[in-house]
Structure 1
Amino acid sequence: MTPFLLVALLPLLLGQAAALANYSPSQSFAQCQKRTSEPLEGCPPDTLYVSQTNESVAFRTIQSAIASIPNDTTPYTILIAPGIYTEQLNVTRQGPLTLLGTSDRPWRSEPYIDIGYNSSAVNDVQIYWNSANHNASFTDNAFTGVLTVGPNLNATLTGSGPTGFAVPDDTPFGCTDFRAYNIDFRNEFAPYSDGPAHALGVSRANAGFYSCGFYSWQDTIYIGKLGNAYFYDTVVAGETDFLYGFGTLFIEKSALSLRSCGGGITAWKGTNTTFTNKYGVYIADSQVLAANSSIAAVIVDKCSLGRPWNALHRSVFMNTYLDPGILPAGYTEWAGTFNGNIGVNTTMAVYDVYGPGYDAAAEAASNVTTVFSGEEIRPYLTPVDVFMTPDGAQPNVAWIDKSVSFSPRRRGRSGR
């Protein structure tokens, strides 16, 4: 490696080192996920097994295994053999459900997000469904999803505009504890933004994802009304508004992969409630990187951290590395709307972010991006702080894998 190239890549390498320090992937199901001659060795009792090549198994598709499970409160586990699965997954049951991708990564303590400009993470289980709401070809974005978790169709619909679909008041809550480990969800309809194309939708449900990948270009992740989602050691790739919704998303020790720039990384909507809510998207101890060296050279200073879909938008980047692709001003207004959709309840903030994509002076001059103090960040530091029940009660974190959650959030690298 030439000295010039080493200097150019040094900020990236330092960002990776910080993001990967002092943690490992979840090992809660490491023995079950490990590749062995007896696939179900080390798995919870009555684990279902999905394989495209093992002729002795009952399930060749993941959705058929999901559909076989009763809608009760009994926990179920599904182990998925390595392979590429082309199907849409819908989870409507209320009881706990865990999807496990076969992988040696947990057993070896290998983090999934160990990626760079010219390297990528690939799980042994890949689920594809290439579909986009191009030119309103569907009545709703929800129909494009690779994986959708919600009690029924009405609950998962996105609707249109800043208020979205008016979900009926009597809609039940869905899965109380959905989990997925070491699975990639890919919606590669086109190699650019060509309409909303969900890799994941979570509405009226609690869902945790560990060492997973989510790949699309526009609207990659949708967290709908009353949806709670927790990401750990995940990669989320996109170009336009690829984290959006009404619910609550906490992303920890993960990587956001910039395939290009369009709109913003975050585009939250927010919902009025009778109680003080924490709806929003929170990115902590993570890294924001260009997807590859070619796009890295094109997007320098161009990618917005987010834009407010409505004036209740809330997103916070904390203790996170930003590469040179980030817009110096940080966040942007929503063009063509009154006051840019920014009001007294709009939160577009950073706290102790670092790297070549952070420009404190430009952010302060923007009058859009807020730089939080240690006191201002306190209400949003951990999953315990933000996740709540449908009626606003806290804490609501029993559904998060305890082997990786509740790690102390630093008060800031500078000690603020």
Structure 2
Amino acid sequence: MLTFALALFATSFLGAFAITTPPSGAITVSKAGGKGKYNTVQAAVNSLPDAGSAVIFIYPGTYTEMVYVTRTGALTIYGSAASETTYTGNTVLLTNKVSAVAIGADDLSAPLRVHKNNFNLINVNVQNTFNTGIGVAVSYYGTEIGTYGCQFLAYQDTLLTETGEHYFVNSYIEGAVDYIFGQYSKAYFQSVILASTGHGYVTASGRTSATDTGAYVFNGCTVKSSTKAVAGTAGTVYLGRPWGAYARVIFMYSDLTDVLNTAGWYEWTVGVYPSHVSYYEYNNSGAGAWNSNRAKFSQQISATVANEYSLDNFFSSTSWILTL
């Protein structure tokens, strides 16, 4: 059962409900002929007033569309699923096939674009099926954005976490090249599966200055090969490369499998030493964990430093994070 914070939802949305049944007052979406009031997610979003808390519930199905969310009021979108605590029973897929180069921007290529604060996505899978270049699945511009039990799938640049504070838990993110990227956000990944489909880099942090508070923290995550990985992927994946000169990424208490190259991290431009990056590791395990071949611009940190990147210390407040 989901426990919703009062700050995020009106009283009419509170109370016990099954994950396969919409709560009282929710706007519903289903395919044509189904039980929902709307047959596209974007139509449901467009129906909402700009202000006030709202919930959208999506019945099972594949929704091929481009969803853009900008409303001021708090919003949760969640899909029907076997369990709210994991992605494995999800039944809702939001998908499209869009090239970022063809459409003109990374952000514009995403089937789900969230340009607002106070947003939650629960038990929804999102996929961009363009697989020969950049095609974003999800783009987040805003703060206090939570992702719970979701799957994000693409080939290159799967998740754009650009501005604000973002939290991801019990989810699955798949890609090959720079599949978690952005410039200014503080993003925290808890118990997330990071699955590589081929040679490449999990993260591309675009942090550009020493005073920028942005960082990506991976706590209790797993880095592994996707079941769709091409032959020879093992040993060819890196935790990150610096899109920005001051890239900051932390992996701690995570399972790093043999999909990783022993160097762990890579420079953006071959032969150009990234002297200002903060590539940190602490207390990870697995065949791909810290070893004597690690890139010289990465480092193992102490327990004291690692504690600075605990959830409670990382965000200015955690009151907006839902309890599953």
* TM-score normalised by length of structure 2: 0.90
Determine the C-alpha separation between the residues in 1 that align with 2:216 and 2:166. Answer: 9
Bigger proportion of residues as helix: 1
Within 5 A, what are the aligned runs for 1:91-170? 91-106=69-84, 111-112=86-87, 121=88, 123-133=90-100, 136-150=101-115
Determine the C-alpha separation between the residues in 1 that align with 2:31 and 2:91. Answer: 13
> Which among 302, 318, 323 is matched to residue 397 of structure 1?
318
> Which among 138, 157, 179 is matched to residue 200 of structure 1?
138
Q: Deviations over 1:124-159 (max 9, x none)?
A: 0011111122xx323211111011111xxxxxxxxx
Unpaired segments of 5 or more residues in structure 2? 5-14
> Which among 38, 43, 59 is matched to residue 38 of structure 2?
59
Matched, 1:367 2:296: yes
Residue type of the partner of 2:313? D
Within 5 A, what are the aligned runs for 1:156-235? 174-175=116-117, 177-190=118-131, 194-224=132-162, 226-235=163-172
- The alpha-carbon deviation at position 306 of structure 1 amounts to 0.5
Cα 1:70–1:373 shift into 2, 3 Å: same
Unpaired segments of 5 or more residues in structure 1? 1-25, 113-120, 151-173, 388-394, 405-416
In the alignment of these two chains, the number of paired residues is 313
> Which among 10, 14, 28 is matched to residue 3 of structure 2?
28
* Secondary structure of residue in 1 paired with 2:55: strand
Q: Deviations over 1:178-216 (max 9, x none)?
A: 0011110011112xxx22211111113321010000000
- The alpha-carbon deviation at position 304 of structure 1 amounts to 0.8
* TM-score normalised by length of structure 1: 0.71
Cα 1:325–1:56 shift into 2, 3 Å: closer
Determine the C-alpha separation between the residues in 1 that align with 2:70 and 2:202. Answer: 28
Determine the C-alpha separation between the residues in 2 that align with 1:223 and 1:145. Answer: 12
* Secondary structure of residue in 2 paired with 1:380: coil
Cα 1:33–1:128 shift into 2, 3 Å: farther
> Which among 263, 268, 280 is matched to residue 334 of structure 1?
268
* Secondary structure of residue in 2 paired with 1:143: helix
Determine the C-alpha separation between the residues in 2 that align with 1:236 and 1:352. Answer: 22
Determine the C-alpha separation between the residues in 1 that align with 2:229 and 2:108. Answer: 32
Q: Which residue does the alignment assign to 1:377?
A: 306
Determine the C-alpha separation between the residues in 2 that align with 1:55 and 1:286. Answer: 37
Q: Which residue does the alignment assign to 2:217?
A: 282
- The alpha-carbon deviation at position 368 of structure 1 amounts to 2.1
Q: Is this contact kept in 1: 2:98–2:110, CA < 8 A?
A: yes
Matched, 1:353 2:284: yes
Q: Is this contact kept in 1: 2:60–2:79, CA < 8 A?
A: yes
Bigger proportion of residues as strand: 2
Q: Is this contact kept in 2: 1:33–1:100, CA < 8 A?
A: no
Identity across the alignment (%):
24
Determine the C-alpha separation between the residues in 2 that align with 1:82 and 1:279. Answer: 36
- The alpha-carbon deviation at position 237 of structure 1 amounts to 0.1
- The alpha-carbon deviation at position 54 of structure 1 amounts to 4.2
* Secondary structure of residue in 2 paired with 1:242: strand
Q: Which residue does the alignment assign to 1:20?
A: none
Determine the C-alpha separation between the residues in 2 that align with 1:57 and 1:81. Answer: 7
Within 5 A, what are the aligned runs for 1:10-29? 27-28=2-3
Matched, 1:343 2:275: yes
* Secondary structure of residue in 2 paired with 1:332: coil
- The alpha-carbon deviation at position 294 of structure 1 amounts to 6.1
Q: Which residue does the alignment assign to 1:392?
A: none
- The alpha-carbon deviation at position 315 of structure 1 amounts to 0.5
